[in-house]
Amino acid sequence: MALIGMKPERCPAQRCGKRHTRSTNVQNSDLRLSPLIRKVIRAVCIASPGTLTHLEGKTFRMRIVALVTQKGGSGKSTIASSLAVAAAETGERVFIIDMDPQQSLVRWFKTRNEADLPVEAIGAPKLKTALATLEKSGISLVIIDTPGTDSPATDAAMRSADLCVIPARPNAFDLWASETTRKSLKALNKPFVFLLNQCPPSQQSARIEEGAKALEAMGGLITPMITQRVDYQEAARHGLGVTELAPNGYAADEMRKLWLSLKRRLAKQKTEKASGRKAA
């Protein structure tokens, strides 16, 4: 991103405190008026202070992960928040988009009381424009939370995502709902993975094995399975991720592993896409 030699301005990020020249891509009026842009700049600067100038000459490939399933209560918002924190801790510049009218993650962000992981409620009509702005601004990872129903928001998120994660509890209703979501994603030709969530602590139970087999048969179960743990509920209540609430806990370990699995999966997709393009 080329920077123009204008008078440096104080960065709007509370903890950055630096003065930056403005990017040619970020218009004056954007910096002054758009809350989205201000949130992006905060995220970028807090993730790595001075990044606005570091963006110069670099090309970014922003990745978009959407949590989708037509089943309410399967853990989309819970996983989205803790995953966002775990990814940010590895140096990703993360932005969360909350497309659920319940606005669970907007509330989570308000409870968090920190500007480091911005959350914006965005409806289907504005999603594309918002994603384009985020990509230009140097965000490396967008996590989208969606409603637990078939809706225009879910459809828009599915269409925009590089990878959709379908969380499912190991019970028949969630597995049936996963099948419906899978069909929608197949029709859109979108990559997806299933994630077993809220598994009982003794993971060897027949119910878990059956759930895992069913999801594998439908295509791609990502590891690890996520266990039902109080840490997930407590972290959400305090506006935290599990890796912040109890960094040495089992839930924190699961979330770090989950982010690594998803990161690998995203990288694999990118390589396959690139080699497919070369072969074509």
Ligand X SMILES: Nc1ncnc2c1ncn2[C@@H]1O[C@H](COP(=O)(O)OP(=O)(O)OP(=O)(O)O)[C@@H](O)[C@H]1O
How many residues bind ligand X (CB under 6 A)? The answer is 19
Q: What is the DSSP letter of 227?
A: B
Q: Judged by CB under 5 A, does residue 77 bind Mg ion? A: yes
Q: Judged by CB under 5 A, does residue 104 bind Mg ion? A: yes
Measured from the CB atom, the residue of 55 and 68 that comes closer to ligand X is 68
Task: Give the contacts of 34 (CB within 8 A, at least 6 positions apart).
Answer: 133
Q: Judged by CB under 6 A, does residue 228 bind ligand X? A: yes
Which of Mg ion, ligand X, none does residue 62 bind (CB under 5 to 8 Å by kind)? none
Which of ligand X, Mg ion, none does residue 28 bind (CB under 5 to 8 Å by kind)? none
Q: Judged by CB under 6 A, does residue 77 bind ligand X? A: yes
Alpha helices (runs of H) in the chain, residue ranges in sequence order: 28-33, 35-47, 51-54, 76-89, 104-112, 127-136, 152-160, 172-188, 206-219, 230-237, 242-245, 250-279
Q: What is the DSSP letter of 124?
A: G
Cβ(128)–Cβ(51) below 8 Å: no
Smallest separation (angstroms) from ligand X to the CB of 122: 16
Other CB atoms within 10 Å distance of the CB of residue 132: 11
Reported as half-sphere exposure (CB side, CA atoms, 13 A), residue 97 has a value of: 32
Binding mask 36-75 for ligand X (x = CB under 6 A): ------------------------------------xxxx
Q: Judged by CB under 6 A, does residue 154 bind ligand X? A: no
Q: Which amino acid is at 140?
A: S
| d(C-alpha 262, C-alpha 59), whole Å | 21
Smallest separation (angstroms) from Mg ion to the CB of 104: 4
Which of ligand X, Mg ion, none does residue 51 bind (CB under 5 to 8 Å by kind)? none
Smallest separation (angstroms) from ligand X to the CB of 3: 39
154 token code pair: 């879910």
Smallest separation (angstroms) from Mg ion to the CB of 7: 44
Give me the residues that bind ligand X (CB under 6 A), please. Answer: 72-78, 100, 102, 104, 148, 197-198, 226, 228-229, 232-233, 236
